[in-house]
Structure 1
């Protein structure tokens, strides 16, 4: 724990009242969740929010502290955050991260992913998440982005406001230098906790901060300022690029989010990779460059793409004809049989596939499309819903090749076992929403109209 006293000019204090921008930018916002680590940055942000709240009591502030359990002093930070929240009558949430020594993301990467999950867990619908990233963090992030082989997006830096997984995140300190934050904290005689792990240069960020950037700042005093300008230039170029890419994606995606490839294939490789990356980001995943290259080589330009799939982050990228899909794999339901006792009552489908709703229709003297002409079952008919049928299906001396039916109606292979198949007395009648086998039924005035209310 560190308590430092110092006098700083009024000019510096005024400069650092950065929360004024926060409330100018979001004048109607009342609910905030502050990520409080106990370090100087978050303590300064906490202090200014409390000061603002005293003058504006309609503002509601909650605090969340995440204990990373990286060293023995972690509990000190937690206790201190609890203490100042209690003193200021602010509700605090405490949660923990236990980082495995061996994981594919590294200690810092794993902690970052877990923090975002925890924030998502506790953030209320009306709240904005506030974090205490500062300008020095920005500069460190650029070097880390270079290490990770990031593109223009990573090199554009951390934005003042962003949305991740439906969370609005605001960083009021992002344009403020660390030394100014510390000066303000000293002028107010604030107490904060020095994170012991910040000294350990085994962590990439600490190595940059304590070994590399400290020397750069000393040799080139304007480096941080120029770095900020470069990030702004890159950010503007990124916005311009995004404008055209998003426009293309909007015009070439279907309602299920799949990307149409006809016009896409007219572009050069570099443009295709940029479109693919943005398309995946829209679907809430940030792909690595290696993943993008695999998609390009194995799915886009590979003539033998059939049944190829690229799996990452528990998701699949697959292609069917001239369309690529971003898929959440589902459980195998080919063995499930649903007994539909009363066909006029809704039936719930497995795997969150939705429900089937039906009603009796009288089509006397009306012309209807045969695809939707499902005969109404006779009394005591056994009605089943299944999700699998053999490659060949023989009915009334006619061989039906189910694969050809799926191909005829452009149903991708991974969706074919999700389509509810309607059987009367173990005889195939229809693939709901796709086809009806009604050639051999006696014409009747009574039919079923079945609606599949689903997400596909």
Structure 2
């Protein structure tokens, strides 16, 4: 099979099936250009799909506007609609500009894709080799070394597919030149300060000169790692089902009963299920301290934007949050977005201006509805199993200087002496857990 027929067949298999939206990630480079024109050539054969090219403008290059205009011209000639997504790249996190740009690019593509849609990406087998080498540099395990899947469905039921993952870069260039395509060259691709560019220009050519089939072998290893990770995740999932409570916190005694390698596996899987970046080996080395801490201890493992916290016999993963310590707010609207990201409060219009929200609640004596006696709110928090970090964010709802309710992260608790007419006029909607 010649390269033209092979390329067509690789794309065609992803266009087969029921009608859906087909989004082509189109940067204007040679890989995405060949992908775009191959889809355009097949569009008449599969007319039921809704085709859309998406160009993500990162704004990082002085030539970004020229690239955008080039993409608009090409799509106009091919009669494929094009959407431009302007994004901002925040390089302050792990991975620098490369990782940040990749993250916002995928977010932009998914934002333009309908439920059950298909995103086609132009990565090839040398891109896969680069990814495997980068993961090796980071000391990744099977999950990281799985690199890029040829096809995967995300949590939004959107399929991300890489039809060219079996193609060599020289094959793409050969066919693009044969078709007389005109593509753009990103000048930053030659900047070896970026790890991927360094591998592409300085390392991989030497490796391929010595071992011409290295990219194919690396792709095969990535597939084997993906299979191993899939098997691991089957076991991880079964373990985890028996370990978590309703708030998806892990029961520490059950986790502690496993060997250290399995503890690490379960915690990685648990974090992945919550879409949280994998912890480093150094971070996981702190896990025994949390697991062996006293029940009333308050150990914290830092995960960057998140924390692992212990409460009673469970381990929680929570988003780092700042909270106001001194709040006094009059409710001047029927709908109020509460401080400390607690949620929304809806009140009847006749109570507008009569209710206030206050903080600093632990030292308050409180008698909940249907309880025979009052005691300090911090004692109620213990009885209600409210974690320490949630107590700090809790608020008081007051009417005529009378505390009528406590607002916690999960629910509202009315006071025993709160007027029934008033309580029936208040509705509290919590925010979903912040992960």
TM range (shorter): 0.7 to 0.9
How many angstroms apart in 2 are the aligned matches of 1:73 and 1:334? 49
Question: Is 1:406 aligned with 2:381?
Answer: yes
Q: CA deviation at 1:261?
A: 2.0
Q: Which moved more, 1:29-38 or 1:410-419?
A: 410-419
CA contact (8 A) 2:21 2:113 kept: no
Which digits, 9 at most, give the CA deviation of each residue in 1:366-414, with x for residues without a partner? xxxxxxxxxxxxxxxx87665542425388xx87222221111211122
Aligned with 1:154 (options 144, 155, 171): 144
CA contact (8 A) 1:70 1:197 kept: no
Determine the structure 2 residue equivalent to 1:88: 78
Describe the shift of the 1:391–1:237 C-alpha distance in structure 2 as closer, same or farther (beyond 3 A).
same
Aligned with 1:174 (options 165, 181, 186): 165
Gaps of 5+ in 1: 1-9, 359-381
Gaps of 5+ in 2: 349-353, 368-372
Question: Is 1:122 aligned with 2:98?
Answer: no
Determine the structure 2 residue equivalent to 1:141: 131
Describe the shift of the 1:278–1:73 C-alpha distance in structure 2 as closer, same or farther (beyond 3 A).
same
Which digits, 9 at most, give the CA deviation of each residue in 1:212-251, with x for residues without a partner? 2222222223322322222222111110001011122233
Q: CA deviation at 1:128?
A: 2.5
Give the number of equivalent residue pairs: 415
**Within 5 Å, which residues of 2 pair with 1:12-411?**
12-17=3-8, 18-24=10-16, 27-69=17-59, 71-96=61-86, 104-125=94-115, 127-163=117-153, 166=156, 168-290=159-281, 292-293=283-284, 296-303=287-294, 306-328=297-319, 329=321, 331-332=323-324, 335-337=327-329, 349-350=338-339, 351=341, 353-355=343-345, 386-393=358-365, 400-411=375-386
How many angstroms apart in 2 are the aligned matches of 1:435 and 1:68? 47
CA contact (8 A) 1:295 1:317 kept: no
How many angstroms apart in 2 are the aligned matches of 1:120 and 1:134? 20
**Within 5 Å, which residues of 2 pair with 1:431-442?**
431=406, 438=416
SS in 2 for 1:405: helix
How many angstroms apart in 1 are the aligned matches of 2:60 and 2:402? 63
CA contact (8 A) 1:340 1:385 kept: no
Describe the shift of the 1:305–1:154 C-alpha distance in structure 2 as closer, same or farther (beyond 3 A).
farther
Describe the shift of the 1:46–1:408 C-alpha distance in structure 2 as closer, same or farther (beyond 3 A).
same
Describe the shift of the 1:50–1:385 C-alpha distance in structure 2 as closer, same or farther (beyond 3 A).
same
How many angstroms apart in 1 are the aligned matches of 2:395 and 2:89? 43
Determine the structure 2 residue equivalent to 1:4: none
Root-mean-square deviation (CA, aligned residues, Å) is 3.7
SS in 1 for 2:365: strand
SS in 2 for 1:192: coil
CA contact (8 A) 1:31 1:127 kept: yes
Aligned with 1:454 (options 414, 430, 433): 430
How many angstroms apart in 2 are the aligned matches of 1:225 and 1:105? 26
Q: Which moved more, 1:151-160 or 1:55-64?
A: 55-64
After TM superposition, the score normalised by the length of structure 1 is 0.78
How many angstroms apart in 1 are the aligned matches of 2:133 and 2:294? 39
How many angstroms apart in 1 are the aligned matches of 2:113 and 2:382? 45
CA contact (8 A) 1:340 1:384 kept: no
Describe the shift of the 1:33–1:447 C-alpha distance in structure 2 as closer, same or farther (beyond 3 A).
closer
After TM superposition, the score normalised by the length of structure 2 is 0.81
How many angstroms apart in 2 are the aligned matches of 1:103 and 1:284? 16
CA contact (8 A) 2:91 2:100 kept: no
Q: Which moved more, 1:276-285 or 1:237-246?
A: 276-285
